[in-house]
Structure 1
Amino acid sequence: MELTMKINVPAAFFYDTIMRSVLADVKQQTNQELAVKELQGFEYEKTFSKSASATVKIKTLVENECYEYQTISSKNNFTVLYRIKPLDDERVELHYSESMTSRGGYMQKLNDAFVGVIWSFLKKKKFKEMLKQIESTYRYQQQSQA
């Protein structure tokens, strides 16, 4: 899935919002409290359910510009990339991409492709809603400070 959108928030606000989420996930999964500067190259085990877990590896971290991570399970590798391009002091263009490589046999790859097509629309919709919530939070904070 690939998506490029303009978002009405500063690059630093968007990046900080994503990093707070990452740090909260690390804390929840590992009970470690890290600083953003410690995340580059950090790996941890993430539990999704009693029978599903994966290794999360933070691959790329460039302040206010880029965040990339990889989730590695026994069935596939899932890579997510956020590229943040400031348009001005109050807006960014976000390029978001996801890619998956299946490790299973033919049936696993076929299943992953089928599920990817089915869920792609819903994932895009949910992702766009999340971005609108980030914008809303930013506007609320700006109004509260005025």
Structure 2
Amino acid sequence: MEITKTLAVPAPYLWHKILESVLFDARKATGKPLRENQLAGLTYTKTFANHQKATLQIMDLVPNERYEYQTRTDKNTYTVTYALTAVDNEHTSLTYTEDMGSKGGLQAANDMLTSLLLGWGRKRNFKKMLAKMEEEYHADDQSAAQ
């Protein structure tokens, strides 16, 4: 899955919003308060709502430009990348990519079917989340101006 969208927010703001989530997730899994400069290469185990465990590793972290992580389970390997490009001081192009590698033919077929059935909803929800971030930025900007 790939989504590219230009947002009316500066790259540092979008980066900060992404990193807030990453730091929260890492802190919850490790029990340690972490800073951005401690995230590159970090590996930890995450437990999902269905009690499934996965190993998450931060593969790449370039402030205001790129965040990539990999999640490995006993059935799949997911690689997610957020690539940010500052268009100007108030606009950022975000390319979100998600690649999945499945272990075994039956798992690959199951994953392909699930992706077809749920992919549209996941894209829609991701775009809604981006719109909410953009809305929050402009609401905060309006509040500061008053």
What is the Cα-based RMSD across aligned positions, in Å?
0.9
Q: Deviations over 1:44-83 (max 9, x none)?
A: 1000035301011000100100000000100010000010
Q: CA deviation at 1:20?
A: 0.6
Aligned residues: 145
Tell me which stretches of 4 or more aligned residues in structure 1 moved more than 2 Å: none
Q: Deviations over 1:117-142 (max 9, x none)?
A: 11110110000000001101101111
Cα distance in 2, alignment partners of residues 68 and 75 from structure 1: 20
What letter matches 1:24 in structure 2?
A: F
Q: Does residue 27 of structure 1 match 2:27?
A: yes
Q: Deviations over 1:1-33 (max 9, x none)?
A: 001111110000000100011001111122111
TM-score normalized with structure 2 length: 0.96
Instruction: Tell me the residue number matched to 1:123.
Output: 122
Structure 2: 5+ residue stretches without partners? none
What letter matches 1:116 in structure 2?
A: S
Alignment of 1:96-111 (within 5 A): 96-103=96-103, 105-111=104-110
TM-score normalized with structure 1 length: 0.96
Alignment of 1:52-67 (within 5 A): 52-67=52-67
What letter matches 1:117 in structure 2?
A: L
Cα distance in 2, alignment partners of residues 30 and 58 from structure 1: 14
Cα distance in 2, alignment partners of residues 19 and 46 from structure 1: 17
